[in-house]
Amino acid sequence: MELSIGEMALIAIAIVVLFGPDKLPQIARDLGNGVRKMRGAVEDIKTEIMKETDNPVSEIKREIEKVKDAAKDFNPMKNIEDNILKDPSARPSESLPEKPEIKPADDETYEGPVSR
């Protein structure tokens, strides 16, 4: 909330009229003390919130790092490679049946090159 100079002057005049010029320093001191206490309370609340939220966040970060480390060492192809090295008959090219090659003359859906 921003106040222009005119608005601040109007508020100052209203305070002087309502409370008198002799009470003005006391009102300013009390207002300053109130603002200072309010800022301190807000800072304490921030600190408590950060303490409470810091522990779960740091635990989650540690767990993420553990998962990353485990993922670096994980090789899904290792088991396959080990099986192929141990048993040559388990090679994928030998274990899969060959796909018969269809010639364009035998395939009724084959349209071939289209010229216009």
Q: What is the pLDDT along the chain (116 residues), one digit of tens a residue?
A: 687 999 989 988 998 899 888 888 898 899 899 999 999 999 999 988 887 776 767 778 888 998 888 888 777 777 776 777 676 665 555 555 566 677 766 767 767 676 65
Q: How far apart are CA 110 and CA 99, in angstroms?
A: 17
Q: Give the pLDDT of residue 91.
A: 56
Q: Give the pLDDT of residue 101.
A: 74
Give CA angle at 41 (36, 25), nearest 5°: 20
Domain annotation covers residue 100? no
Total tally of structural domains belonging to the chain: 1
In this prediction the pTM is 0.38
Domain annotation covers residue 110? no
Burial letters 4-40, b for 16+ CB under 10 A, else e: eeeeeeeeeeebeeeeeeeeeeeeeeeeeeeeeeeee
Residue ranges making up the domain that contains 17: 9-92
Domain annotation covers residue 4? no
Domain annotation covers residue 106? no
Give CA angle at 74 (55, 62), nearest 5°: 5
Domain annotation covers residue 74? yes
Domain annotation covers residue 111? no
Q: Give the pLDDT of residue 48.
A: 86
> Environment class of residue 106 by beta-carbon count within 10 Å: exposed (0-12), middle (13-18) or buried (19+)?
exposed
Domain annotation covers residue 25? yes
Q: Give the pLDDT of residue 115.
A: 62
Q: How far apart are CA 9 and CA 16, in angstroms?
A: 11
Domain annotation covers residue 109? no
The answer to whether the CB of 24 falls within 8 A of the CB of 16 is yes
